[in-house]
Structure 1
Amino acid sequence: MTAFHEIAGGCHCGNITYKFFSPLPKSELPLRSCDCSFCTKQGACYTSHPKGRLLIQIKDQAQIKHYRFGTETAEAILCASCGCFPFITAELDGQTFAVLNANSIDDLQIDHAVIPPALHLVDFSVAERIRRWKNFWIGQVEIETFL
């Protein structure tokens, strides 16, 4: 049986928090970048594990903004209060998948100089992107809201 590591994170103001239960400790999570214009402007890098589980808590749903771009198949979840986006989600075949913005993980030391170069996702078809997300993103996602 695999031991899971509880990894906490969220937006800057605490409106969005999460616990990621990962088979890997946070120091061993794979980091990757994206070369799309949104991610580049945000300076984001991502992590996930397909066998992990993500529990998201949103204190004030009214402060949540959703941003879709490009193929509009995935959605960045942003906190309007502090401007951070802790993760991106995609609804695929009735299931929510997510990838974490690694910069939103509490106390994770990231050396951005060693993150592998981005895949040129613009060269991927929508079907190829979705297949990739199903293979690499977190497939067990629960979102709980309080207001």
Structure 2
Amino acid sequence: MSGPLSVASSLAGGCHCGSVRLVYTSALVPADTHPRACDCSFCRMHGAAYVSDPAGALRISVADAQTLLSYRQGSEAALFRLCGRCGVLVAVTYEQDGRMYAAINAGCLDERDAFAPAVGASPQLLSREQKIGRWTQLWVPEVEWA
């Protein structure tokens, strides 16, 4: 990602049925931000390409707590967050020392078409420790649940 703005803007989004809503706050300009398309089989099956800003924030609102599903795969360190009603993958999270980090599936944001073309990412080539190190550097470190 590149091209920070002088002020942060908020991008809204969520799942298809509206049970899970997101507000992603970032100073990054969507047109200059290339979502990262993970090449693992899970993300490829969902068509996921992630955006994040280590200086940003994310608020996730869930209408019914039982609606939000979590799935671990690969290194089993991260939780993929999906709507249990419509099946949309909205984000991936990782928790360390009481702090939650997240990357947002750009396809879930209302402004999804404003982003630059996705670029490939190959986390499968990284060890569990390398993945975690990458996440804590690149992902949103301020995640609020509502």
Classify the secondary structure of the residue corresponding to 2:39. Answer: coil
Deviation at 1:27, TM superposition (A): 2.8
2:109 corresponds to:
105
Percent identical residues:
35
Q: How far did 1:41 drift?
A: 1.0
**Residues in 1 aligned to 2:145 and 2:98: alpha-carbon distance in whole angstroms:** 15
Q: Which runs of 4+ in 1 moved over 6 A?
A: none
Aligned twin of 2:57: 53
Extract unaligned runs of 5+ from structure 1. none
Structure 2 counterpart SS, 1:39:
helix
Mapping 1:67-82, distance limit 5 Å: 67-82=71-86
Q: Deviations over 1:67-125 (max 9, x none)?
A: 0011110011111111101101111122100000000010321689x422222x22211
1:2 shift after superposition: 4.0
- Normalised to the residue count of structure 1, the TM-score between the two structures is 0.89
Partner Cα separation in structure 1 for residue 137 and residue 6 of structure 2: 19
Match of 1:22 in 2: 26
Equivalent residue number for residue 120 of structure 2:
117
Partner of 1:44: 48
Q: For residue 29 of structure 1, report the CA deviation from its aligned partner.
A: 2.6
Residue correspondences, number: 142
